[in-house]
Structure 1
Amino acid sequence: MVLTAATLVALTLYVSLGVVGVQLLRKRNGWRLVGGILVVEAVLLLAAQIALSTVPFGIGEPLIRVPLRALLTQALLSLAAIGGAAAAVYVGRHWLGQALPRARGRRAAAGLLLALPVVSALGMYGMMRISLPPRERERDPLKRQITLNSGFESTVFVQGTMDNPTTITFAPDGTLYIGDISGAIWAAADGDQNGQAESMKGWADGFRLLVGLAWRDDELYAASSGKIEALRDSNGDGQADQRRLVVDGLPSMVLMPHSNNGLAFGPDGRLYFGVGSTTDGQVEREEHAAAILSINPDGSDLQVFARGLGNSFDVAFSASGDLFAGDNSPSGGVAGEDYPDEFNHIVEGEHYGFPYFFGDPPDNGGTRGALANFPPHSAPTGVTFYNGATFPVNYRDSAFIALWARGEVAHVEVAETSGGEFLSRTSTFGSGFLYPIDVLTGPDGNLYVADFGTSAVYRITYNANKDLGQRN
Structure 2
Amino acid sequence: MKNLHPTTLLAGLLAIAAVSACTKDHQIDAQIPETNKEPTSASIQGNVFEPALVDATDERIAQLKVPAGFRIAKFADQLGKPRMLAVSASGNVYVTSREAGTVTLLRDTNGDGKADQKEVVATIKAVHGITIHDGKMYLVAVKEVYRADLNGDGTLGTPQLLISNLPDGGQHPNRTIDFGPDGMMYLTVGSTCNACAEPNAENATILRANADGSGRTIYASGLRNTIGFDWHPQTGELWGLDHGIDWLGDEQQKEELNQLKPGAFYGWPYIYGDGNYNPHPRPMGDTTYAQILAKTTLPAFSYEAHAAPMGLVFYTNTGTSGSFPGEYRNDAFATMRGSWNRTQPSGYKVVRIHFDGGKPTRMDDFVTGFLVNNNRAQFGRPVGIATLPDGSLLFTDDNNGVIYRVSYQP
Q: Which residue of 1 aligns with 2:21?
A: none
1:447 to 371, 374, 393: 393
- 1:66 deviation in Å? 9.6
Where 1:165 maps in the other structure, the secondary structure is coil
Structure 2: distance between partners of 1:166 and 1:228: 17
**What letter corresponds to residue 450 of structure 1 in structure 2?**
T
What is aligned with 2:167?
A: 251
2:112 alignment counterpart: 194
Structure number, greater radius of gyration: 1
Q: CA deviation at 1:365?
A: 3.3
Q: Which residue type is aligned with residue 74 of structure 2?
A: V
What residue in structure 2 maps to residue 18 of structure 1?
none
Which residue does 2:216 correspond to in 1? Answer: 302
TM-score (norm 1): 0.66
CA contact (8 A) 2:137 2:150 kept: no
Letter in 2 for 1:326: L
Q: Which residue of 2 aligns with 1:96?
A: none
2:363 aligns with 426
Question: How much has 1:250 moved relative to structure 2?
Answer: 1.0
1:148 aligns with 2:63: no
CA contact (8 A) 2:71 2:408 kept: yes
Cα displacement string for residues 220-279 of structure 1 (whole angstroms, at most 9, x for unaligned residues): 101111111112255x5654332111212112322x2x1352222111111112110123
Q: Counting strand residues as a fraction of each chain, which structure ranks higher? A: 2
1:240 aligns with 2:156: yes
Distance 1:388 1:65, change over 3 A: farther
The answer on whether the counterparts of 1:141 and 1:456 sit within 8 Å (CA) in structure 2 is no
Cα contact 1:350–1:368 (8 A) shared by 2: yes
Question: In the aligned structure 1, how far is the partner of 2:387 from the partner of 2:195?
Answer: 33
2:392 and 2:405 in contact (8 A); partners too? yes
The equivalent residue for 2:237 is 322
Does the C-alpha gap of structure 1 residues 356 and 416 become closer, same or farther in structure 2, counting only changes over 3 Å? farther
Alpha-carbon distance change, 141 to 344 in structure 1, aligned in 2, over 3 angstroms: farther
1:165 shift after superposition: 0.5
**What is the TM-score of this pair, normalised by structure 2?**
0.76
For the structure 1 residues 63 and 148, does the alpha-carbon distance in structure 2 shift closer, same or farther, using more than 3 Å as the test? farther
| Residue 221 (structure 1) aligned with residue 103 (structure 2) | no
**Cα gap change, 1:371 to 1:435, in 2 (>3 Å):** same
Compare relative contact order (CA 8 Å, sep 6+) and give the higher one, 1 or 2.
Answer: 2
The one of 360, 366, 370 equivalent to 2:295 is 366
How many Å apart are 1:423 and its aligned residue?
4.0
Q: How does 1:115-130 map to 2 (within 5 A)?
A: none
Distance (whole Å) between structure 2 residues aligned to residue 71 and residue 265 of structure 1: 40
Partner amino acid for 1:155? A
**2:255 & 2:207 partners in 1: Cα distance?**
20
Deviation for aligned residue 1:296: 1.0
How many angstroms apart in 2 are the aligned matches of 1:71 and 1:360?
25
Alpha-carbon distance, 1:329 to partner: 1.5
Q: CA RMSD in A?
A: 2.7
Task: Give the alignment partner of residue 3 of structure 2, picking from 41, 53, 61.
Answer: 61
SS in 2 for 1:148: coil
**Residue in structure 1 matched with residue 353 of structure 2 by the alignment:** 412
Q: What is the one-letter code of the residue matched to 1:193?
A: G
Can you give the 5+ residue segments of structure 1 that lack an aligned partner in the other structure?
Answer: 1-58, 74-129, 465-472
Q: What secondary structure sits across from 2:168 in the alignment? A: coil
Please name the residue that 1:280 is paired with.
194
Q: Flag structure 2 segments of 5+ consecutive residues without an equivalent.
A: 16-47, 277-289, 339-346, 371-379
How many residues get paired?
A: 339
Q: Distance in 1 between matches of 2:250 and 2:388?
A: 41
